[in-house]
Amino acid sequence: MELKTLDIFCEIIDNYGDIGVVYRIAKELDKIFPNSKIRVFLNRLEEFKKINSQVKDTPCQIIDGIEYITFDYVQKKAKELSTSQVIIEAFGCKIPDEYMEIAYGNSELLINLEYLSAEDWIEDFHLQSSPLGKEKLKKVFFMPGFTEKSGGIIADSNYLERIEKVIKNRDFYTKKYLGNIENRDKKIVGTLFSYEKNFTTLFEEVKKLDREVVILAMGEKTQESLKKIFEKNLIEDFRNSLKYGKIEVRFLEFLNQEEYEELINVVDFNFVRGEDSFIRAVLTGKPCMWHIYCQEDYAHMDKIEGFLDKYKRVIKGFATEEFLVNMEKFFKDYNFRKENSLELGKESYLYFFENLTEIEKNNSIFRDFLIQKCNLINKLKDFIEKY
């Protein structure tokens, strides 16, 4: 198929991950298919405005050659807008009926881009079609994952080039984001981005290290969780930062997507939440921990199990058994919870912070595998062109 037009639909619920993924994919496909017209349809703009300062409160706008349109606008103007040759339905969102009624007879391919999963069953489901029962439009499921047979992960060239730029200009970016940290080379510095969580154990254990640690707290839920913990502990308050023994916590303002990607590549470790931020962290090759979105009946733990299985499969020939056991335990303990709350978990942080060098060595091996064998962008491009 020669791609002429592409529409991407995204229904934002209550986080930045969905729009973060769609924004990233749209930019990359625009780069790959420069002669194609690409439009992105969003149910709301609040989160998009946070990650991209160019976004305005208008129902229809063009940013860097890509047209962004609200659901309200397409519902009113569906006939005028018409539909595209290929449609990407991100994360099972509900595409407005006014658009779909035209798409059934006008469009050729509807790709249902699912959420990232590490479970084995997605390999069999990936690229399976589902009859829509109306006219010529066909629907295909695209299943992101951590294996060659899945849809892969988003290792877009824009981000990989940004990583390379940060590495080549490390002094500049270190000064940009960490310039106000005294004796930076003698301290461990990392980001913390989470859902609601009790980090009391983190602070109690990190105090035992022989180096000072600076934690850059990001996001409202992270910062609120920390403040509630600090209310119960004696701390030193230095306006935008808090001191607790050897630990300094700095509360960061919201960063746009590009700034966040630069920052996580100059620090020593990243604790992240959700799927998009996790993949960004994995692609740094640096030590990281994933706070996965909590699901009913501990369904999220199946995803953690699946990820660990794929991770261990790739690095098994390079990592020690002790490493594999300890990292598996940390991932599971960190995420084992019935709901997001300030209930104290059972995870221990010491192994992670005492073995940052070994973690980075093994994570770099896993990162290289994903970039070379599991690039979702390349897989999506190839599928559309061969369709």
Q: Please give the share of the chain, as a percent, with pLDDT higher than 70.
A: 97
**Burial call 182-201: b when 16+ CB within 10 Å, e when fewer:** eeeeebbbbbbbbbbbbbeb
pLDDT in tens, 341-355: 999 999 999 999 999
What 3-state DSSP class applies to 109?
Answer: strand
Provide the 3-class DSSP secondary structure of residue 210. Answer: coil
The confidence score (pLDDT) of residue 234 equals 55
Mean pLDDT of 76-85: 96
The pLDDT of residue 243 is 82
pLDDT number for residue 39: 98
Q: Count CB-CB contacts under 10 A for residue 238.
A: 10
pLDDT at 232 > cutoff 90: no
Single-letter amino acid code for the residue at 373 = K
3-state SS assignment for residue 237: strand
Q: Two tokens at 218?
A: 């990001």
Instruction: Name residue 138's amino acid.
Output: K
3-class secondary-structure state, position 368:
helix
Residue range 313-320: mean pLDDT, rounded: 96
Residue 238 has pLDDT above 60, yes or no: no
Q: What CA–CA distance (Å, rounded) separates 141 from 348?
A: 39
> Which spans in the chain are helix H?
17-32, 46-51, 71-81, 97-106, 122-125, 157-168, 170-178, 200-206, 220-230, 257-263, 276-282, 299-315, 321-335, 350-354, 356-373, 376-386
DSSP letter at 114? P
Encode pLDDT of 269-283 as tens digits.
999 998 999 999 999
What predicted TM-score, i.e. pTM, was given to this entire model?
0.91
CA atoms within 13 A on the CB side of 87: 28
| pLDDT, position 40 | 98
- Using pLDDT thresholds of 50, 70 and 90, give the confidence band for residue 132: confident
Distances (CA, A) of 33 to 23, 29, 208, 252, 355: 15, 6, 53, 36, 43
Which token pair is 357? 């060098």
Q: Which residue is associated with the tokens 């339905």?
A: 89
Average pLDDT (119-136) is 89
Residues of the chain with pLDDT > 90: what percent? 86
Predicted local distance difference test score (pLDDT) of residue 235: 59
Nearest to 25, CA basis, from 46, 4, 44, 10: 10
One-letter amino acid of 367? R
> Chain-wide mean pLDDT for the chain?
94
Q: Supply the pLDDT for residue 175.
A: 96
> Which one, of 69, 110, 72, lies nearest residue 88 by Cα?
110
Of 301, 256, 264, 255, residue with least CA distance to 282: 264
**Residue linked to tokens 């069999």:** 124
Give per-residue burial for 264-285: e unless 16+ CB within 10 Å, then b. Answer: bbbbbbbbbbbbbbbbbbbbbb
pLDDT at 16: 80
Q: What is the pLDDT of residue 237?
A: 58
pLDDT confidence band for 133 (50 / 70 / 90): low
Residue 81 half-sphere exposure, CB side, CA atoms within 13 Å? 30
Per-residue pLDDT at 236: 58
